[in-house]
Amino acid sequence: MFKKTLNTEDTLKNSGLTDEEQQLFSNARPQAYEPYPIKAVEDFANWARANSLWILAFGTGCGAIELRPLMTARFDANRFGVAGRPTPRQSSVFVIGGYASVKTLKRIIRSYEQMQGPKFVIALGICPVNGGMYFDSYNTVNQFDQYLPVDLYITGCMPRPEVLVAGIMELQKKIKAGECNGANLYVENFDWYKSNQKKVIKNWDMPDYNW
Amino acid sequence: MIVEGLGGWLSKVGNFSLTLLIVTTYGLLMGAFIERIIAKVQGRIGIPYRQPFINILKNFFKRTAISHGVMFYLGPVFRIAGGIGTLAFVPVIYGDEMFSNFSMAGDLFLVIYFMFFGQLGMALGAGESGHPYSAIGIARGLSQMTAYEIPFALAVISIVIQYDTLSITQIVAAQQGGWQNWTVVTNWVATLAAMLAFLGMMGYSPFDIFLAPQEIPIGPPTEFHSAYLGLMQLNRALFGATKLVLFMNLFFGGATGWVELMIKTFLIYMVAIVIGVAFPRFRVDQGIRFFFKIPTLIGIMSIIYVQMVLTS
Amino acid sequence: MNTLINFPISLIVLCSGFILILLGLWGMLTQRHLIRIIIGFSLMDTGIHMVMVSIGYVTGGTAPIINNAVPMSEATNLVVDPVPSALVLTAIVIGLGVTAVMLSFAVRIYKTHKTLMIDKLTESKW
Amino acid sequence: MMLGLMAIIFFNLAANYTENTSLSKLAHYYVEKGPQEIGAANIVTAVVVTYRGLDTLGEVTVLFISAAGVGLLLRRKKAEQNNNHKKINSVKETANTHKSSSEIVETATELLLPMIILFGVYVFLNGHLSPGGGFQGGAIIASGTMFLLLALPKSHISRLLIAITESLSGFSYVVVGVLGVVMAGGFLDNRFISSGTYGNLFSAGAIPLIYSFIGLKVGFELSAVLDRFRKETSNEEDDPV
Amino acid sequence: MVATTDTIDIFLQPLGIYILALGVGFLIPLVYRVNRNSAILVFFTALLIMIVIAGLNLLAIINGASVMDIETAGIKPPFSINLRFGLFEGACVLAVNTVALLGAWHYLPRLKQHAAALLLYLILVMGINGMVMTRDLFNLFIFIEITSIATYALIGMERTAKGLAAGFKYIMATSIASAFYLLGTIFIYYQTGTLNIDDIIANQQLIIGPIGFIATLFILTGLLIELKPYPANGWGLDVYETAPGGIASLISVGVSAGVFFALYKVLPIMDLYLTSIAFIGGFTFLISNFIGLKQENTKRLLGYSSIGQMGLLTLVIALLVQLDASAHIPLIIGGLFINHLFAKAGLFWLAAIVDRKNIKDWSSIAKHPSLLILLCILLTALVGLPPFPGFWAKWELVMLLASEQLFGWITLILIGSLLEAVYLFRWFSYARNVESSESVEKPAEVSVSFLQQIPIFITGLLLFAIAYVMSRFMNVDNQLIYFPLMAGFAIWLIDRLNVRVKSLIMLLAVSIGGYFLTKDLEGINKLFSYLLIGGGILVSFATLYRHDDRKGFYPLLSVLLLSLATLLRAQTSLEFFFAWELMALSSYLLVMLGRNKQNCDPGIRLGNDQKNDQKYNQINAIKPALIYLLFSLASAYFILVGFAVSYSATGNYFLFSLGDSGTSTTLAFSLLAIGFIIKIGGFGLHIWLPEVYAEADDDFTAILSSVVSKAGIFGLIIIAAHLGVRADIGLNPAYVLGWIGILTATFGALMAVFQEDIKRLVAYSSMGQLGYIVTGVALMSHLGWVSAMYMTVNHFLFKGILFLSVAGVILRTNERFMYKMGGLIKNMPVTFTFTMIAIIAMSGVPPLSGYGGKWMFFNALMDKGWYWIAALAFFSSAVAFLYMFRLLQTVFLGQRKLEHRKLREAPVILLIPQGILIAIIFVISAYPKILIDVISTAIDPWISNTLVWKGTAMQAHYGYWDAPLIMAIIAGAWIAPLILLLLFAKTMKVQKVEQFNIVYAAERPRRPEETHFAYNFYAHYDRAIGFVVRPRATAFWNAVIEWTHSFAASLRIFYNGNGQTYALFIIMYFVGLFLVNGGLAL
């Protein structure tokens, strides 16, 4: 079971890490996962996943401010099984809280890659869609889905928590329907995503895939 | 409690599995219930009752995982083995052979020592993850444990003197016959000390520094996810409930039926919750010092109390 | 006459001996010059010899040599104790030997230290 | 202060001292039996040579070793010795540092010296009869040497002679002592030679013999000591010790 | 004496010594002039014949000839001088002459240059013989003077500036002393009319009044001053310091021996002063050993030791005479005397050969095994460790004093001995100290020819031989106590062989020897024999993992293990003590063989500064070894006194009669218990333990902790069995012992928590675990003892594993600081697994064997009503988790260092014993009854069995414990979720990742060092309760050391080097004696 290395193709070759450091990181490529062979199980699993959305507590941009009210008495996202998690390992939902600067993008990629699938990305606000008001900024990425697969967009600037709640419910629906395959998408188009990412992130200095 | 033959043992195992199921379920439900109560206090609705189950299921339904090594893999196993084992050695329902579990294998002392089993294994698993936060969390948790162990040990010694036995069943038996026989009444000093220790044991605020979700992403389990996390969540419910049962048995007269058990354990649990929502978090050295002061003093007094008042 | 009887002749020698011993000791303790210390030692030695001799004195005795003046039959009543005399003879020789060695030490010390002051000879202590 | 206290102690002794009015047991025995047993008129000699012969032997030893010790201490370093080998007869050179004595002194010395030595010999030979003895005689001989050295600083005393006399006389003393064991009552028993006629020169057993050895030994040893002190500062011949 | 005509016969009489010496002495200058070599030949022949004469006559006396009184001048004493040659005289003369011969051999290169030197030497020896034999007061004076003048001359022979100055002071002092003596003699004569000592003694009643008083005082002072009592002995020290070794040795042992004998002769007329003499002797012994602490000059150090030894002899002789116990004189005085004589002489010669002035420069002999061995043998003898004569004498002495209830003196003697051991072995430490390469000035290597070592070697052999004879005299029938030594010697002979071969031979020899030594034991002893011998061999097997030569290791190890076997065999307290000391000595030397990389100052200051970790790395094993030895000696002395107390009550040495000690039981028990507690490393007395365990060889630490420490437990159980249980009285000391045990456990655990050094951590842990055992023994109940023994076995198992795995880790990583390791589970999975199992077994977490011990322990505590101790036990076992986890986490888990990525698993040879121990742990865990039954049976003779078994479950008053069932349940509870997890893992894609694939967002980890949380792991705990474990004990002991040294420094202000001051002291001494003995009242 421990030898179940998915892929030995080297992800560290072009990472710019020194040889010494390369030993310290896993060099495996990620692999896509199949749905459970039994449809009922898969549906049940998707239901469970949909009703237990653990959001990574990582406010990447100004939209993160709108995440906080979700947990308050007024919106109480707990009702839908939404909860915050401090560690990406345990989280299943990554909410991109608005614009992603190049610097943050690097962190976002790392954190995303550290999450375990199935994992879902919600892009919050207009900025991840087209850059929003920062469309011509030198250090804000305009089309976020060039870098990570997005499962759900919630547009607006800023989108109010109500919209967020609606978006979460929408996400739940999509998950239950088995339509949220962002994680697999990322794996399947790994090279494309990586090249996009590396285009903007100049000081890469990390393995290609942060296990 | 004499178990004979393979059939006897098998039925014993079966009965225990049932107990395990009930206690785990109850633990999960109670967790949800407590969450809801807190939510109500905050003016929210809170999670649905099924939420803990869903969380665990979801974790088991994860499709990818990483492994840092054998100990990392075994850590959660140790953890839940600790929970299951602890439950196995605690008689759950007084006077009911079916739910006395394997309490004939050992006494209170065994239970107390076996509680460490899971913690140690978990600590090793977390250690192999290589995450410094895990190590920090464990260091804090273990330190705190040594601190609350003192009042707890004193209280336990006090009631062992009082009831002249280490057998949990007999301790419960001695408390039968009405609330006035409960340890909380007859030996309130020891109970007080033990309940203070209990706060530390449950890991709620003000003694939750070792988890510290914001500064050291939840401490020891930082690296755990997927099925590992599922097991740990199961254990949290199970182990929490077991500890409650143990406290109930020792200090609150035990239970003769499931309902009584649920009411009592719930109330005991509420103590920790109420204090937890009311007080901010202690820094770890403050927490340790706290336990070395008043609770220890109360613990000492409890033994003196037993020797001076109860046995003379 | 009375005082003379109470104050026997050997006592004078004895006391002189004691005084010499004290003088010698005083010399050894206070004089820092090695030669003076050696002189002090000699004084002390002499004092002791005097004490010894005086101890052997028997009132009215004469030298323990048997000759016409001291006939053998009466010798025991006439002579002084020969033993201290014999002892003192030995003691003198020994004192001489020690003095000789001390002097040669002094000579050598002067060669090595270029001084004869004893308080300069404190290389080894503690 | 300590001396004061010492003085008190001595005063204590003196105050409690009473003069002997009779001989001690030991002395009584010596005076009574001495002449018969030993045959020496001088009881002190009897005591010294026979009764307390071991003391005397020790005494001689003391003198011997102090002479040896002085020699050892005042020897010259090897380097010096080697140097000095080349000028064994360097008395002349040293003569410059010592003024030669005046003729009067030289003559007086030549006259007196034999007499002094002869007197010394007389004293130790008659030790058993009259006051005196080996030590006294030896001392007189040594005083002769002293006299010689003072009067004639250039004079040369043969080391070899001294050494041989010293050693042989000492050794003979021991041999005589052993003869006492073999032929008489015990070690240093002088009676292995018949005591002879009481009061004669050759009486009192081996006492005259012993005293001769002692006298020679003492005399030469003291001379050697004196000589060594003198030579310490002069450049003399090689000293074997 | 009847004159015979047989000349040879005459020469063979004792008198022949004089005749020969004088005759030859007088002739030497002549012979020398003729031929130097023949003079030397004559000289040696004379010395040799002197020995032969003494030997033949002594033999005759031993064979029943009557005491020889030799008259001179054919006239009966008191009218002539007579000599006496009895047993004591003979022994003394023989010994002195032997030393003189060897000394002459040693000093020949200088002696032969001057005829005078030869003759002086010869006459000096004769003078000493004379002092011993003469029975005449004045003759004694002559011999004293002969000796003195010869000594003066020989001191002056080298003509060094210092030597001359010292010599002059010496002359001043001794001439005053002999003046006193002469005055005394003449006044004695004045009163008694005789000079013969026997006659004087017979006419004692004549010595009266002030004159008698002062006269005896003069004689006494004269003799005492020659013995160099404190403080009137500065001149003596100067001479020891400056005189050449050959002369100093003769002064130290020969002249002192003569004077001492003289003192012994006149003691009968000194009745009045016996107490004063005893005090002077004791005082001198104590103080000079104190001052010795500050001394760094080798020969002066020996001088202090010498003076101390003479003080001790003076004290003892005064006491023996006072107690009228002259029957003991041969053994006690003889033993001490001979011991001092040979050992000190040997040391002086050694010091002369090595010729290093400062003891710190003695590291230049570190590479000379033969010199080191000689030094070690002589020092060991001097300190009075077995098997040397001093050991037997000390034993006899202490027993005698105890039976007379003179505990004050015992204390003084033992403190003095301990101090002496401090500075002597500190010297040895310096000698052992291998220079580091950085050392600026490297002392030149010492080149010593084999020939020069022979005299010293012979003294060593003589010491052994005499010791053997003494032990025969002491009715030590059990020759097996020597077996360890002989085995060690045999192994030493093959020390040049290949390390594999010799280690296997050693193991084989120890196995066979151990088997034969222990096969007929029973009860507790049998149980311990399995543990100590079987276990010892098992753990020793691991020593094979090293490939280096390890000179000396295997011989010593065999001595250690076999002395453990003889310890178990011991029937009498003497055998026990012998084996105990042997064990202490061999383990000291073994510790010393340990870590030796860095040069450091092996003074006895302790270093335990948490914050200066780098500093520890500099420590080598020498300093801790010294501390270890000192604590071992202190422990041994407590045990000695304990046995003595018991002996004074029971009158015999048998261990089984310890219980008949009656009213002394409590005292004896306390003393013995303290002794064993020190060895175990009890609370407050533990400071030696971490350093020793840390710095000894890694594999030897395993033996030390898992095996040797059990000897202390064994001792504790033995005394508890014999004294605690059999005496059957309410033993308060047991309760105290219980507290000591639990405090040891608690503080051991707390201190282990804060260690950075892996070996120190395990060492403190070992100390803590032993604490429980002590408390278990103190319980004095069946269950308590079963728990103690059970924990003992368990401790052996897990500590053996832990130290061996630590040895493996250190071997591979070459590190001892845990924060420099980490993640080693990947490289050393087996070691990790073993360590983890050992730790679980140690922690007491079910189901492994530790739980059983803890359960029984707790139940026994509750039975006894020791609730507070129980609570602390709870607490400390919780604290234990902290360090146990730290050990696993920071070494095996967490981040692996880059340089450790290529490490291999520990050597198989290390793993095999661990594996066997693990297997035993599992067997005991699953079915503890087999072990408990054995223990219970062994204890049964002492405390009847109270255990109740119900099937596999054990029942106590309070609780119950069903080990197999627990094992089964936990196995089930563990396997079920594992299967669950494995099932779910099948549905996932599990990626095995590397160490840096951890959760991070802002910055990735750069270096393992930064990411490994290990340094100051429990900083918060330290902040919370660290104040209780500040190294107070260490501070306390450091203060003791500091204080002792400053005290010593202040004691030696008298030695200002001025001869006049010394002379003044002599006069003060006399006056003081006068005043103290009531002089003013006259």
| Domain, as residue range, for E303 | 7-432
For chain C, give the percent of residues with pLDDT over 70: 92
Taking the domain A54-200, which CATH number applies? 3.40.50.12280
Q: Which residue has the higher pLDDT, D19 or C1?
A: D19
Predicted pLDDT at B77: 92
Q: Is D59 on the interface with C (CB under 8 A)?
A: yes
Cβ-defined contact of B142 to E885 (cutoff 8 Å): yes
Determine which of A94-103, B48-57, E39-48, E1029-1038 has the lowest per-residue pLDDT on average: E1029-1038
Q: Number of folded domains in chain E?
A: 2
Dihedral sign for Cα atoms in the order C86, C92, C97, C102:
positive
Do you know the residue count of chain C? Answer: 126
Determine which of E484-488, E618-622, E813-817 has the lowest per-residue pLDDT on average: E618-622
Residue C5 pLDDT > 80:
no
Among all residues of chain E, which has the CA nearest to that of B88? E969
Please indicate, yes or no, if residue E549 is contained in any of the structural domains.
yes
Cβ-defined contact of E171 to C125 (cutoff 8 Å): no
B268 to chain A, closest Cα gap in Å:
25
Predicted pLDDT at A11: 65
8 A C-beta contact, residue E402 and residue E648: yes
* pLDDT, average across residues D193-200: 65
Residue A53, CB-side half-sphere exposure with 13 Å CA sphere: 28
Predicted pLDDT at B155: 92
> How many Å apart are CA D162 and CA D141, to the nearest integer?
13
Predicted pLDDT at E1080: 67
Determine which of E50-54, E324-328, E572-576 has the lowest per-residue pLDDT on average: E324-328
Predicted pLDDT at E550: 79
Given B66, B104, B116, which is nearest E991 (Cβ)?
B66
Cβ-defined contact of C64 to D31 (cutoff 8 Å): yes
Residue E589 pLDDT > 60:
yes
Q: Number of folded domains in chain C?
A: 1
pLDDT band at B245 (very low <50, low <70, confident <90, very high): very high
Please indicate, yes or no, if residue E282 is contained in any of the structural domains.
yes
Q: Is C121 on the interface with D (CB under 8 A)?
A: no
Of B261-265, C14-18, E193-197, E944-948, give the range with the top mean pLDDT.
B261-265
Q: Is E188 on the interface with D (CB under 8 A)?
A: no
Among all residues of chain A, which has the CA nearest to that of E993? A26
Tell me the pLDDT tens digit for each residue of E966-989. Answer: 998 999 999 998 998 888 888 888
ipTM of the assembly? 0.83
Given A72, A89, A117, which is nearest B224 (Cβ)?
A89
> How many Å apart are CA E809 and CA E824, to the nearest integer?
9
pLDDT band at B234 (very low <50, low <70, confident <90, very high): very high
* pLDDT, average across residues E523-540: 87
Predicted pLDDT at E601: 37
Among all residues of chain E, which has the CA nearest to that of A86? E999
Q: What is the SS3 string spanning E926-945?
A: HCCHHHHHHHHHHHCCCCCC
Q: Edge to edge, what strands does the sheet with E960-962 contain?
A: E948-950, E953-955, E960-962
Every domain of chain D and the residues it spans? 41-75+101-232
Question: Which residues of E fall within a CB distance of 8 Å from A111?
Answer: 1001
Q: Which chains are within 8 Å of D by 3+ CB pairs? A: C, E
> How many Å apart are CA A44 and CA A10, to the nearest integer?
36
Structure tokens given for E785: 């003892």
Predicted pLDDT at A175: 92
Among E805, E815, E1005, E754, smallest CA distance to E914 is for E805
Among all residues of chain E, which has the CA nearest to that of B217? E999
Question: Which residues of D fall within a CB distance of 8 Å from C23?
Answer: none
Cβ-defined contact of A114 to E1008 (cutoff 8 Å): no
For A:37-76, CB contacts with B below 8 A are 44-45, 48-49, 51-52, 54, 72-73, 76
Cβ-defined contact of E1060 to C32 (cutoff 8 Å): yes
Cβ-defined contact of E1004 to A205 (cutoff 8 Å): yes
Structure tokens given for E994: 């590397």
Tell me the pLDDT tens digit for each residue of E984-998. Answer: 888 888 888 888 888
* pLDDT, average across residues B182-201: 90
* pLDDT, average across residues E862-890: 89
Predicted pLDDT at D194: 65
Cβ-defined contact of E960 to B288 (cutoff 8 Å): no
Predicted pLDDT at E1004: 84
Residue E580 pLDDT > 80:
yes
Residues E238, E357 within the same domain: yes
CA E379 to chain centre: 10
Cβ-defined contact of E882 to B142 (cutoff 8 Å): yes
Cβ-defined contact of C84 to E186 (cutoff 8 Å): yes
* AA identity, residue B108: L
Q: Is A78 on the interface with B (CB under 8 A)?
A: yes
Residue E729 pLDDT > 90:
no
Tokens 């027993």 -> residue: E399
Cβ-defined contact of E153 to C101 (cutoff 8 Å): yes
Among A46, A64, A57, smallest CA distance to A176 is for A46
10 Å CB burial of residue A18 (0-12, 13-18, 19+) is exposed
Question: Which residues of E fall within a CB distance of 8 Å from D184?
Answer: 3, 74
Structure tokens given for E353: 């050969």
pLDDT band at E919 (very low <50, low <70, confident <90, very high): very high
For D:24-53, CB contacts with C below 8 A are 24, 26-28, 30-32, 34-35, 41-44, 46-48, 51-52
Question: Which residues of B fall within a CB distance of 8 Å from E882?
Answer: 139, 142-143, 146
DSSP string, E982-1009: HHHHHTSEEEE--TT-S--SSS----HH
Predicted pLDDT at E830: 93
* AA identity, residue E219: I
What pairing do the DSSP bridges indicate for beta strands E989-992 and B64-67? parallel
Tell me the pLDDT tens digit for each residue of E762-776. Answer: 889 998 899 999 999
For E:989-1028, CB contacts with B below 8 A are 989-993, 995-999, 1011-1014, 1017-1018, 1020-1021, 1023-1025
Cβ-defined contact of A211 to E997 (cutoff 8 Å): yes
Q: Which secondary structure element, helix H or strand E, spans residue A94, and what is its range? A: strand A93-97
* pLDDT, average across residues E875-898: 88
CA E854 to chain centre: 35
Given E159, E179, E190, which is nearest C44 (Cβ)?
E179
C113 to chain D, closest Cα gap in Å:
15
B163 to chain A, closest Cα gap in Å:
46
Please indicate, yes or no, if residue C39 is contained in any of the structural domains.
yes
pLDDT averaged over every residue in chain E: 84
Residue D233 pLDDT > 80:
no
B–E contact (≥3 CB pairs within 8 Å)?
A: yes
What CATH number is given to the structural domain containing C8? Answer: 1.10.287.3510
Among all residues of chain E, which has the CA nearest to that of D164? E30
D102 to chain E, closest Cα gap in Å:
37
Predicted pLDDT at E439: 43
Tell me the pLDDT tens digit for each residue of E229-240. Answer: 887 888 888 888
Question: Which residues of B fall within a CB distance of 8 Å from A73?
Answer: 42-44
Which residues contact residue E544 at a Cβ distance below 8 angstroms, ignoring those fewer than 6 apart? E500, E503, E504, E909
Given A1, A26, A206, which is nearest E990 (Cβ)?
A1
Given E901, E989, E1001, which is nearest A6 (Cβ)?
E989
C–D contact (≥3 CB pairs within 8 Å)?
A: yes
Residue E917 pLDDT > 90:
yes
Every domain of chain A and the residues it spans? 54-200
> How many Å apart are CA B205 and CA B275, to the nearest integer?
7
DSSP string, D106-124: HHHHHHHHHHHHHHHHHHH
Cβ-defined contact of C81 to D21 (cutoff 8 Å): no
For chain E, give the percent of residues with pLDDT over 90: 7
For D:145-164, CB contacts with C below 8 A are none
* pLDDT, average across residues E884-900: 88
* AA identity, residue E5: T
Residue E178, CB-side half-sphere exposure with 13 Å CA sphere: 25
Tell me the pLDDT tens digit for each residue of E423-470. Answer: 888 888 888 776 543 444 455 566 677 777 888 888 888 888 888 888
Residue D161 pLDDT > 60:
yes
Cβ-defined contact of B67 to E966 (cutoff 8 Å): no
Tell me the pLDDT tens digit for each residue of D198-213. Answer: 666 666 677 778 888 8
8 A C-beta contact, residue E724 and residue E623: no
Do you know the residue count of chain A? Answer: 211
Predicted pLDDT at E681: 85
pLDDT band at A5 (very low <50, low <70, confident <90, very high): very low
Tell me the pLDDT tens digit for each residue of A180-199. Answer: 888 889 988 888 898 888 88
8 A C-beta contact, residue B142 and residue E881: yes
> How many Å apart are CA E333 and CA E91, to the nearest integer?
11
Residue A82, CB-side half-sphere exposure with 13 Å CA sphere: 28
8 A C-beta contact, residue E909 and residue E542: yes
| Domain, as residue range, for C47 | 2-57+77-120
Predicted pLDDT at E615: 40
Residue E1026 pLDDT > 90:
no
pLDDT averaged over every residue in chain A: 85
Q: What is the SS3 string spanning E351-390?
A: HHHHCCCEHHHHHHHCCCHHHHHHHHHHHHHHHCCCCCHH
For D:104-133, CB contacts with E below 8 A are none
Cβ-defined contact of D32 to C75 (cutoff 8 Å): yes
Given E72, E156, E195, which is nearest D53 (Cβ)?
E72
Cβ-defined contact of A78 to B44 (cutoff 8 Å): yes
pLDDT band at B297 (very low <50, low <70, confident <90, very high): very high
Cβ-defined contact of B116 to E881 (cutoff 8 Å): yes
Do you know the residue count of chain D? Answer: 241
D–B contact (≥3 CB pairs within 8 Å)?
A: no
Predicted pLDDT at C75: 72
pLDDT band at A69 (very low <50, low <70, confident <90, very high): confident
Tell me the pLDDT tens digit for each residue of D79-101. Answer: 444 444 444 444 444 444 556 66
Number of H-type helices and E-type strands within chain C: 5, 0
Q: What would you measure as the largest C-alpha separation in chain A, in angstroms? A: 53
Given E829, E973, E980, which is nearest B88 (Cβ)?
E973
